[in-house]
Amino acid sequence: MLICYDVCFPETSRLLALGGAQLILVPSAWRASHYFKEWWDLNLACRALDNLVYVAAVNRCGASGEEIFAGKSQIVDPVGRVLQSFGVEEEGILYGEIDLGQIEKERDFNTVLIDRHPEDYAGILEKWEGK
């Protein structure tokens, strides 16, 4: 499970996938201001494709005070396609079927997880000085 803003970081979902996750759940209160609605869609699709997993994300919708939430709860398949989704203002229970066999098929075709070179990532552990 990732929580809200965690979906912005590829490393968190990668750790889950390498640990055996086939479905990543993302409960969220993602805002609709600025370009955040677009980020929501992109991040969910990218995390699914990055790791060849399903992503099921639920997001708050509507207003709370002056803040407006983006809605758009969705289920995304392992290649980043949205299988089921709600709109910005829709509330409800989103149903969809996932085929865990698709993960194996996609991973046989797309070898991104086994073609990694973790030894090249040492710089990630160093403090970023580019502020």
Q: Could you read off the pLDDT of 1-26 as tens digits, one per residue?
A: 999 999 999 999 999 999 999 999 99
Query: What is this structure's pTM?
Result: 0.90
- Residue 131 reports pLDDT greater than 60: no
Residue 89 to residue 72: CA distance in whole angstroms:
8
- Residue 123 reports pLDDT greater than 90: no
Instruction: Identify the CATH class of 4-125.
Output: alpha beta
Q: Could you read off the pLDDT of 35-53 as tens digits, one per residue?
A: 788 899 999 999 999 999 9
Residues 16, 26: contact at Cβ < 8 Å?
no
